[in-house]
Amino acid sequence: SQQGEEDPQALSIQEGENATMNCSYKTSINNLQWYRQNSGRGLVHLILIRSNEREKHSGRLRVTLDTSKKSSSLLITASRAADTASYFCATDAYNRGSTLGRLYFGRGTQLTVWP
Amino acid sequence: DGGITQSPKYLFRKEGQNVTLSCEQNLNHDAMYWYRQDPGQGLRLIYYSQIVNDFQKGDIAEGYSVSREKKESFPLTVTSAQKNPTAFYLCASSILGDGLLHFGNGTRLTVT
């Protein structure tokens, strides 16, 4: 299975602290994405990092990718109560010569940020 | 505003009944997807479609059926053959080849 696995399963921190979530996957990828899901809602795309990139930033988000270790991390700096959500990594599985893109999701990290 | 609309938000059915979940998008995306989410689990792909009148099975297609008669619509039917249908169902769409998914807010199906 190409499915990513997030670690830890749950993370509880105080507002203002940084939150770090990790993702490991099994096979080669073209890109890796992070999504956020508020309770009972759909997923929202946060950031995409390509296999030839090592680090990417978007606002308070910082994503790293280590293809040699098949792992990625998502750092949320200066967390807020509104960051409370589940965070999922998703890897792709592009076939050679095909534009098909299917994503494989991990089980997610449940982040709770206390005021 | 562009987006994906799933309806209804909650759905209750008796065992043995087929039920159809609606998914409509006005993002002009070619590709559409159905995922299933169970508590504590990641999303699992049921079906996906790249163009109108064409669709492919995902990883857990047994007991489900879809149609893609219009670019904007990708309804999912949960049949009585699906052994454990109670779950949260998410529809998504993307630009073909983009791989970046836009999700609806889901339908929570409960079968008793």
From the list B96, B98, B108, B102, the residue with the least C-alpha distance to B36 is B108
**Chain A residues inside the 8 Å CB shell of B94:** 101
Q: Which two tokens stand for residue B82?
A: 């699906």
Gyration radius from chain A CA atoms: 14
Of the candidates A30, A33, A88, the beta carbon closest to that of B42 is on: A88
Residue B102: is its pLDDT beyond 70?
A: yes
The reply to whether B19 touches chain A by the CB within 8 Å rule is: no
Nearest CB partner across the interface for A102, out of B42, B45, B104: B45
HSE toward the beta carbon, residue B111, CA cutoff 13 A: 17
Q: Reduced to 3 states, what is the DSSP secondary structure of residue B57?
A: strand
* pLDDT average, residue stretch A16-29: 93
Would an 8 Å CB–CB cutoff place B105 in contact with chain A? Answer: yes
Averaged confidence pLDDT in chain B: 94
Pick the residue with more confidence: B39 or B76? Answer: B76
pLDDT band at residue B98 under the 50/70/90 scheme: confident
Quick one: DSSP state of residue A30?
A: S
Task: Identify the CA nearest to A111 among candidates A40, A7, A32.
Answer: A7
The residue among B45, B100, B107, B109 with the most chain A CBs within 10 A of its CB, best to mutate, is B100
**Residue in chain A nearest B106 by alpha carbon:** A42
Q: Is A93 on the interface with B (CB under 8 A)?
A: no
